[in-house]
């Protein structure tokens, strides 16, 4: 049973779409087996923890782990195909400093002690652009409170989106929270002190469409 189903009794507003896609390839099946054997989430570490929420196919997660071998890179993802692809990629790249949680990150936070995570990455979350769906956006004030509980003081939340009204909504949400301050750079500037100089799948798609993504960094004070 996946973690998503294990914690299904927690009634949270659904912030994601599909749980599965096409039938898994041979490599993805291996990746899913590796998840159970090698990459399944656990918290016993002395390393600083960076957590990527909704990592998609895991390209950014893998690169983050490669470049930060002194950190434990944890990823959460509900989409089974993404979990399978990411785990196979971690195995291919012989990465030892990464773990994967297959499920809703808000259920994962129940497994953390308070003030455990040093950095969050939330990159191009589903914008739920239809008016009737906007309550499903991941970066609502109630969901940010989940992240805040397990984020250390002086920790960071790094966010990227290519949807302007979502960017404005995120800025408004954080501006109303006393425990966060924004790192003062233009949202259109990708601060490489926090973001990698590689593009995620959705970041590249946005740029190909002529869109200008926004990059926001908030510090917990």
The CATH number of the domain covering residues in 114-221: 3.40.50.150
C-alpha pair distances (Å), 67 with each of 70, 82, 95, 124:
9, 21, 11, 21
- Residue 65 has a pLDDT of 97
Question: What are the distances in angstroms from CA 148 to CA 36, 145, 187, 215?
Answer: 28, 5, 21, 19
Domain ranges of the chain: 1-9+40-112, 114-221
Give the pLDDT confidence score for residue 13 in this predicted structure: 64
Phi, psi of 155 (to 5 degrees): -85, 170
Query: pLDDT tens-digit profile of 110-138?
Result: 677 788 999 999 999 999 778 776 888 99
Mean pLDDT by 10 residues, the chain (221 residues): 42 58 84 86 84 93 96 93 94 94 80 87 89 82 90 97 96 94 94 95 94 97 94
Instruction: Please tell me the predicted confidence (pLDDT) of residue 151.
Output: 95
Q: 1-9+40-112 and 114-221 share one CATH topology?
A: yes
Q: What pLDDT, on a 0 to 100 scale, did the predictor assign at position 4?
A: 42
Which residues, in sequence order, are bridge partners of residue 101? Answer: 76
- What confidence score (pLDDT) does residue 8 get? 41
Q: Please report the pLDDT score of residue 17 as a whole number.
A: 52
User: What pLDDT shows up at residue 10?
Assistant: 42
- pLDDT at residue number 2: 45
* Correct CATH for 1-9+40-112 of 3.40.50.150, 3.30.70.1730, 1.10.10.10, 3.30.1960.10: 3.40.50.150
For position 12, what pLDDT does the model report? 64
| Cβ atoms of residues 122 and 76 within 8 Å | no
């Amino acid at each position: 049973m996946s973690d998503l189903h294990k914690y299904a009794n927690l009634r949270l507003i659904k912030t994601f779409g599909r749980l599965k896609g096409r039938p898994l390839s041979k490599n993805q099946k291996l990746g899913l087996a590796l998840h159970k054997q090698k990459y399944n989430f656990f918290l016993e570490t002395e390393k600083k923890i960076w957590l990527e929420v909704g990592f998609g196919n895991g390209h950014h997660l893998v690169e983050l782990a490669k470049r930060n071998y002194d950190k434990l890179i944890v990823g959460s993802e509900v989409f089974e195909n993404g979990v399978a692809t990411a785990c196979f990629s971690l195995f291919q790249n012989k990465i030892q400093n990464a773990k994967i949680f297959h499920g809703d990150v808000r259920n994962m936070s129940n497994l953390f002690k308070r003030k455990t995570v040093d950095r969050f990455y939330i990159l191009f979350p589903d914008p739920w652009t239809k008016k009737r769906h906007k309550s499903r956006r991941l970066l609502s004030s109630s969901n940010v409170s989940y992240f805040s509980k397990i984020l250390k003081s002086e920790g960071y939340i790094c966010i990227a989106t290519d949807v302007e009204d979502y960017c404005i909504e995120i800025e408004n949400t954080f501006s109303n929270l006393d425990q966060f301050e924004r790192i003062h750079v233009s949202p259109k500037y990708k601060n490489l002190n926090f973001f990698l100089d590689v593009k995620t799948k959705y970041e590249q798609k946005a740029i190909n469409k002529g869109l200008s993504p926004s990059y926001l960094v908030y510090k917990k004070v």
